[in-house]
Amino acid sequence: MEELKQLCENIKYLPASENPLSADVILIETPDFICVYDVGSSEKARSVIENITKKKIVVLSHFHTDHTANLSRITFDELYAGKETVRYTKAGMVVNQELCLSLLRIMPIPSVHAKGSVLLCYGEYAFCGDACYCAAKNGRQFYNAQLLKAQIDLLGGLEVKYLALSHKEGLLCSKEEVVCELKKIYATRKKDSSEIWLE
């Protein structure tokens, strides 16, 4: 399908859309199966996933509907997600520690954006969904300092070159660039507050 973009030999993705709001859908081909990271919410995303004829393993980054809405409209063989996402979808295996499937590594990632987020590593790429994004309260954006520090430590320790951030034009950022930006935000924390408010 012409709307799919190629990241490397084994990875294609359908870019996120605004209308309807639908996350990037990542397709990683291994010898035994195709891993689908996030299923989006658009008809286009559903069609791309349903056209896969190989064994399908789905990994959901988190429970927000732009990443999960198509789950009830597709077929798949296995499903992996964080505890909150499994509670929301009422399906799948909970990922509460690192899990290896062939050349894929699936693991929880601390995130203020969505509790129970899961990232997926393959080769030099780590697919993060929305995990690196902030949360909002009363119209203001913020990070939880403890979760942000844990996220920085996890991402910094990954042996990958790129982080794929959903909804980002071009999908990829260098790991160093993202970690550096998150460290700058963390450096603005105030001693008497567990939250870091963005200006």
Query: Which tens digit of pLDDT belongs to each residue from 121-159?
Result: 999 999 999 999 999 988 999 999 999 999 999 999 999
User: What tens digit of pLDDT does each residue of 26-68 get?
Assistant: 999 999 999 999 999 999 999 999 999 999 999 999 999 999 9
List the one residue out of 101, 125, 112, 120 whose CA is nearest residue 174.
125
> In the prediction, which pLDDT does 199 show?
78
Q: How far is CA 32 from CA 54, 56, 126, in A?
A: 8, 9, 20
- Which range, of 30-34, 165-169, 189-193, averages the lowest pLDDT? 189-193
Instruction: Supply the pLDDT for residue 1.
Output: 46
Residue 13 has pLDDT above 90, yes or no: yes
Q: What is the pLDDT of residues 64-86, one digit of tens each?
A: 999 999 999 999 999 999 999 99
Largest CA distance in the chain: 54
- Sheet of 5-8: strands edge to edge? 5-8, 11-14, 25-29, 34-37, 56-59, 78-81, 93-94
Helix (H, G, I), strand (E, B) or coil at 128: strand
Bridge partners (DSSP) of residue 127 are 120, 164
Q: Which helix (H) or strand (E) holds 126?
A: strand 125-129
Q: What span, in angstroms and rounded, lies between the C-alpha atoms of 174 and 74?
A: 32
Tokens 């951030």 correspond to 165
The SS3 assignment for 142 reads strand
